[in-house]
Amino acid sequence: MWKGRFQQETAPAVQRFTESISFDWRLYKVDIEGSIAHASALEKAGLLAPVERQQIESGLKAIGQEIDEGRFPFRVDLEDVHMNIESALTSRIGSAGGKLHTARSRNDQVALDLRLYLRHETDEVCRRITALQRALVGLAGKCRETILPGYTHLQRAQPVLFAHHLLAYIEMLDRDRERLVDGRKRINRMPLGSGAIAGSTIELDREYIAGLLGFPEVTRNSMDAVSDRDFVAEFLFALALIGIHLSRLSEDLILFATSEFQFIKISDRYTTGSSLMPQKKNPDVCELTRGKTGRLVGNLVSLLTTLKGLPMTYNRDLQEDKEAVFDSIDQIKLVLEVYTGMIPEIEVDSQRTRQAANDPGLLATDLADYLVLRGLPFRQAHEVIGKMVAYSIEQRRGFAELKLEEFRRFSELFGPDLFEVLDVDRAIDHRTATGAPSRKNVAAALEAWNAILREQP
């Protein structure tokens, strides 16, 4: 690449230290796609004869086929995927291959490859998110009548429908998908033609290249174009947040599957055993998901740390972005795939969850609302019910077991109809505000999500 300037060969240790072909070979498809478009622009500018452009395209496609089949000999001494492909092309078709790099630097070439690659992977991750959402909607539909305690601070709080609980994660995943779709707009800008830093005196039609590659616009500043990795950071943040959401779901499933809760059973196909204790059935998929989220967050932090001290423009530090990107993509796609298979096979014990939801303490807020609707300010109602909770605990009797006279010791506003409030089904169905977990709301939400997800690819 640079033998005209250097008089000595690169030291073997430096070759091993600087090479990236061991991981950036994964960019070969998009590198070939970008090179074919670049060759077309060179032909359009009169810098390649039509026959040369055809030789380049045919040669690149043949190399791509060999890589697909595992027959291509990648060389560490050629550093990266770009030079491996270009060197192989030139050795096969001669001088036409040597013209391909005209008006192009590896700086804008790798920027293009990353954008093409992340554009494709964004679409793929979005498809997997949609598949998981469908699985969650399917499970929610099966248990739309299942009531369980909702938790705050991991303490029983108020009754909700299990479907409503699952719908919360569907909402999280939809925001994840929206972030990816929004970030795709900033990925989808074409940097080729920016050169190493300042473009080239040989002007190519950048808009023409962008059209060939499906980019709606080109980058506007050559220095920014070759050093920008904002779009990579956004992408890694989106993947890290997907991981965080799935880690939270994992924690719920781990707790609900314990002997202490016994709300759900995770299929044998998505659990493992113990090498020592024959009785164990461990939720390893969920635990590994929590663990892998640390990797996703770590990859984001790694990139941000690399970027924070870089002067303009391209610096070799940016080579360190790719392993983080590839690892995060691999991990999140695998997690989404596994969860999409695991969720439909979860069994929910509706009797067990309802038993837990019958905890009379869960309706304390409903009793406070009862007093508010009879004119008592909420803070006073809150104090009254707090004293009643303490009394109930002292008496070792739930609210439903107390007599009206006992209620009236705490407030004269209590009437015989208070016992209607102490019904968990009524409590669910009276939560009718937008976003609340009444059966009617949950049924409507499931119908809406089914309609939305039918339209998603």
Tokens in use for 334?
């695998």
Amino acid at 276: L
Q: Say which residues have a Cβ less than 8 Å from residue 239's Cβ, sequence separation at least 6.
A: 125, 296, 299, 300, 328, 329, 332
β pairing state of 189-190 and 217-218? parallel
Amino acid at 455: E
Q: Which helix (H) or strand (E) holds 148?
A: strand 147-152
Cα distance between residue 13 and residue 288, in whole Å: 36
Amino acid at 446: L
Cα dist from 153 to 159, 241, 357, whole Å: 15, 21, 16
Amino acid at 230: D
Catalytic one of 22, 35, 91, 153: 153
To the query of whether residue 120 is one of the catalytic residues in this protein, the response is: no
What is the phi/psi pair of residue 204, to 5°?
-110, 160
Q: Are 426 and 420 in contact (CB under 8 A)?
A: yes
Q: What is the CA radius of gyration of the chain?
A: 30
Cα distance between residue 98 and residue 120, in whole Å: 29
Q: Are 355 and 156 in contact (CB under 8 A)?
A: no
> Is the backbone peptide bond immediately before 258 cis, with ω within 30 degrees of 0?
no
Cα distance between residue 158 and residue 361, in whole Å: 8
Closest CA to 137 of 180, 178, 168: 168
Q: Are 335 and 292 in contact (CB under 8 A)?
A: yes
Catalytic one of 194, 200, 222, 274: 274
Cα distance between residue 318 and residue 106, in whole Å: 12
Tokens in use for 416?
């015989």
Which residue numbers are catalytic?
Answer: 153, 274
